[in-house]
Chain A
Amino acid sequence: KQEVTQIPAALSVPEGENLVLNCSFTDSAIYNLQWFRQDPGKGLTSLLLIQSSQREQTSGRLNASLDKSSGRSTLYIAASQPGDSATYLCAADSWGKFQFGAGTQVVVTP
């Protein structure tokens, strides 16, 4: 069974610093790896999806990389802002079922 781990569980950085969020998965037979953002009490918002054949995907200040052989994905957020404070989750799509990590709670202080 696919297991997805996110370390660290929580992270606090000053505004302007770059954020690095890690996601690891045990089974490399995935279709896609998707990153989400969740604000308190809300649903999940899709940030980036990396297909299994891709190495990275970019959207604005966000860049996500994927290394299937080592079972890792990393989300980089450049020049963090207080509005980036949220919980970030990754999910591995294995045969149409998505296995989620527990998330990394990020606080960006002004």
Chain B
Amino acid sequence: DVKVTQSSRYLVKRTGEKVFLECVQDMDHENMFWYRQDPGLGLRLIYFSYDVKMKEKGDIPEGYSVSREKKERFSLILESASTNQTSMYLCASSGRSSEMNNEQFFGPGTRLTVL
């Protein structure tokens, strides 16, 4: 059974803290994604990675950075957390973009609250 796991289901941090969100997939997927989901705004892409050490900005990269040192692991970093980064963060992975059956799989999500 395919699996995407995220390091925490719930996280509470203080303004200004550095926050790490970890995501691991066991499907040997090339592509990995970080989204945030907010009521009324839907899913918005923060960053994605199409290979180890490769990354591309999504629609809302400001205030975030990412790291992909190993194929199975993709980390989202909030350098200095702010209250407007309180959100549900979802990690996903998919196979190579040119593949016909390129299904995207999601982790359970991390509900981050910044106080």
On A, residues with C-beta under 8 Å from B are 31-32, 34, 36, 41-46, 49, 51, 53, 89, 91, 93, 95-98, 100-103
Contact = CB atoms under 8 A, between A and B. Distances in A.
Contact of B104 (A53, A95, A98): A98
Contact of B108 (A31, A42, A96, A98): A42
B113 to A, nearest CB: 13
A83 to B, nearest CB: 19
Contacts of B90: 43-44
A52 to B, nearest CB: 8
A4 to B, nearest CB: 9
Interface string B92-115: 101011001111111111010000
Contacts of B111: 41
B101 A51 contact: yes
Interface string B43-59: 10100101000000010
Interface of B: 4, 31, 33, 42-43, 45, 48, 50, 58, 88, 90, 92, 94, 96-97, 100-109, 111
Nearest to A103: B42
B43 A89 contact: yes
5 contacts: A34-B104, A89-B43, A93-B94, A93-B104, A96-B31
B100 A43 contact: no
A11 B86 CA distance: 28
A103 to B, nearest CB: 7
B97 A46 contact: no
A31 B102 contact: yes
